[in-house]
Amino acid sequence: MADVVAARQQLLEVNKATVMYSDWELAYDLQLEEAMAASAMDVPPVKSQIREGKRPVEESFVQETLPKNSLDKTTLDVRDRFSALGFQSAELQILEEILGDQKKAAKEAQDLIQEFRMRSHDRQFAKSVDEMPDTEWEEEGDIYEEPFHGLDDDYWDENQVCKLYTGRAREEPGHVAMAWSLRDAEGHVLVESGKYLGMGTAAYVAEYTALIEGLSYAVAAGVKNIQARTFSHPVFNQVSGLWKARAPKHIKLLEEVFEHTKQLKVFNIRLTSRRTVENLAHDAIRKHVTQGPKDIKRLKPSSSGFVTTPEETDMIDCPVCLENVREADTFVVQECLHRFCVSCLTQHVQIRVKSNQVPVKCPQDCSRLVDVEQCRNFLPPDLVELYTKSLIEASIPESERVYCPFTNCSALMSKGDLNPSSRPSSSRPSSSRQPKSFAIGQVECMECHRLFCVECQVPWHADMSCEDYNNLPPDGRAAEDIKLYKLASNKNWQRCTKCRRMIELDQGCYHMTCRCGHEFCYKCGAPWVDKHATCKCKLWDEEHIVGDPFSSDSEIDANSESDVDSVFDDDGLFPRRRPFNPLAVSELLYKTKLCRYWMSGNCRLGQHCKFAHGEHELRYL
């Protein structure tokens, strides 16, 4: 206070000195003019003096009366002193303004701390009322009170750790905003703010600005312990010391952060999800875009629905939340002129759009609709796009809706907008539900321009009718499976009905045993039960059998001993070594008995043995 008084007194003295010097300069000029006028009355004209070779009296008088250059020096000296006094006066005024601003800032900081603690007191008081037992509330509820005691309030804990969430948002064509939210240890919001930064602001600048403003508010509010949460990896790494800031702008912003953290007892920073405060930043952008600069006032509802009045403090009651909100923060539905706060209307539209209840009606239970163009002013772009697509989908009858079958497209189209392919009708696939002449067949997606079958709702199945495609198993309808299916159809391959493996018969009978153990007929696919066929197909075909197999087990039994004698030695213990004859082996491909040497664990013929090595090789007529 003493500095302010001294500055004001010094300013008064400077003003007096300035006036005095101004009077001196004026008096000097008047005296000089009077002297020159008096001397000119008794002296001949200047022209006659020049003809006689004499100097004019005025010039001689001035030069004789005043020293050389004395006039210029005196004038400059007076002017310099006057300028110096002016500069000193301006500096004193600036000092007085600075001191006044500091005084206001101190008062605002004091009010901020009191308001901050009052919010904490109100929340704690509400919590204590909510946790009060019913019996105690019935007895003392009407007289229960906990008055706020200002900065000495008992509810405020100076050692509590508050959480500061920071973030940013960007919207086309380049709007950038930042936001921060200060919360208590339990996660309850104490204060939050969003601010529009401008077009093309760098991401790291927005993140640092949010952190700096949040810390500045917290320090001014008397918070001593802060846990900061940010989505930006560069800000997290630089503030925590994992990275070293090298760019001059990064260094300057980092120093400003540390200036605030020096005033805290505890400070740490962690990474978090950007969704925490991103909506606040988006709200700041939308408010800037829709309302424009603060000095522009609109007296009538605009096309966006937002309304501002000359009195920014005008308050109205929202019919949804019943809260008293500023009229500048309201939204007017164009068709019915019902007014709601932006928060309630945003939540109303979001719920309806996400649950596909479109078009969205006015929350006032009237039949008017909320236009999608109005929603662009307060909904995120992704929800606006979803709302638009939902409206388009709702306008198409369900029987006419067609979706692109490709998973990375899924565009919605109407059958009436799709043109059939220019292929001849004879080459178009027939539908399993409609005659060929009415099947649309191949069409092109209007978004990704890829071909698909509108009847089967699948990517285009070339050279295959809709009926053939629908007869394929569900796990065999991929493009690669369709190629294999075509090859198998041309080669007359058979598929195992149990494991779906494709099997080709090279030689042998039609009794097939798959890798999975399933036995079936190669001709018709009918299963074999207990080593017997369930179909009436013939057992083999001559083109797959080399030589004549035994016709019956009786013939095999009759020749079994001779076969053994011819294969084994005189003692019947070890097989004779002889050159392998494929024709001889192929004559006994139809094995009906187990090999006794295999059963004893030693058969040297291996796969060339004429007898079965296991029940899976046995064949019965």
pLDDT tens-place string over residues 259-270:
888 888 889 888
Domain boundary residue, one of 357, 373, 395: 395
Sign of CA dihedral 394, 398, 400, 404: positive
Say if residue 363 is in the same domain as residue 330: yes
Closest CA to 207 of 281, 124, 296, 156: 281
Tell me, yes or no, whether 179 and 274 share the same domain: yes
Same domain flag for 386 and 442: no
Residue 125 lies in a domain: no
- Cα gap 344→335, rounded to integer Å: 18
Within a domain: 262: yes
- Give a yes or no: residue 457 inside a domain: yes
Q: Are strands 324-326 and 315-317 parallel, antiparallel or unpaired?
A: antiparallel
Q: Could you tell me which residues come within 8 angstroms of residue 327 by beta carbon, excluding any fewer than 6 positions away? A: 307, 308, 309, 314, 315, 316
Question: Which residue did the predictor score with more confidence, 442 or 297?
Answer: 442
In this prediction, residue 216 carries a pLDDT of 86
| Banded pLDDT at 589 (limits 50, 70, 90) | low
Query: Could you tell me if residue 366 is inside a domain?
Result: yes
Quick: pLDDT tens for 59-108: 444 444 444 444 455 555 656 666 666 676 677 777 777 777 767 766 66
Which of 366, 395, 424 lies at the terminal end of a domain, its last residue?
395
Q: Are residues 65 and 94 in the same domain?
A: yes
Are 375 and 454 in a shared domain? no
pLDDT number for residue 174: 74
Judgement on whether residues 230 and 265 belong to the same structural domain of the protein: yes
Residue 127 lies in a domain: no
The radius of gyration of the chain from alpha carbons, rounded to an integer in Å, stands at 50
Question: Which of these three, 252, 279, 306, is where a domain ends?
Answer: 279
Cis check for the bond before 359: say yes or no (omega within 30 of 0). yes
Angle between helical axes of 70-131 and 203-220 (0-180°, round to 10): 80
Size of the chain in residues? 621
What is the reported pLDDT for 454?
A: 80
pLDDT digits (tens, 9 = 90+) for 319-357: 888 777 887 788 888 777 788 888 888 888 888 888 878
* 371 and 428 inside one domain: no
Widest Cα–Cα separation across the chain:
176
Domain span at residue 433? 398-488
Same domain, 382 and 408: no
* The residue to which tokens 């940013």 are assigned: 168
Residues 371 and 418 in one domain: no
Q: Half-sphere exposure (CA, 13 Å, Cβ side) for 527?
A: 7
Non-local (6+) Cβ contacts of 158 within 8 A are 222, 224
- Report field, pTM of the whole predicted structure over 0.75: no
* Higher pLDDT, residue 391 or 425: 391
116 part of a folded domain: no
Supply the CATH number for residue 264's domain.
Answer: 3.30.420.10
Number of domain units in the chain: 5
98 and 16 housed in the same domain = yes
| Cβ partners under 8 Å of residue 422, min gap 6 | none
C-alpha dihedral (128, 130, 136, 138), degrees to nearest 10? 140
pLDDT score at 311: 42
Weakest-pLDDT range from 174-188, 281-295, 452-466: 281-295
Residue 540 lies in a domain: no
Whether residues 274 and 162 share a domain: the answer is yes
**Same domain, yes or no, for 327 and 343?**
yes
Pairwise CA distance, residues 413 & 419, whole Å: 11
Q: Report yes or no on 292 lying in a domain.
A: no
Distance, in Å, from the CA atom of 358 to the CA atom of 373, rounded to the nearest integer, reads 14
The residue-averaged pLDDT of 175-192 equals: 82
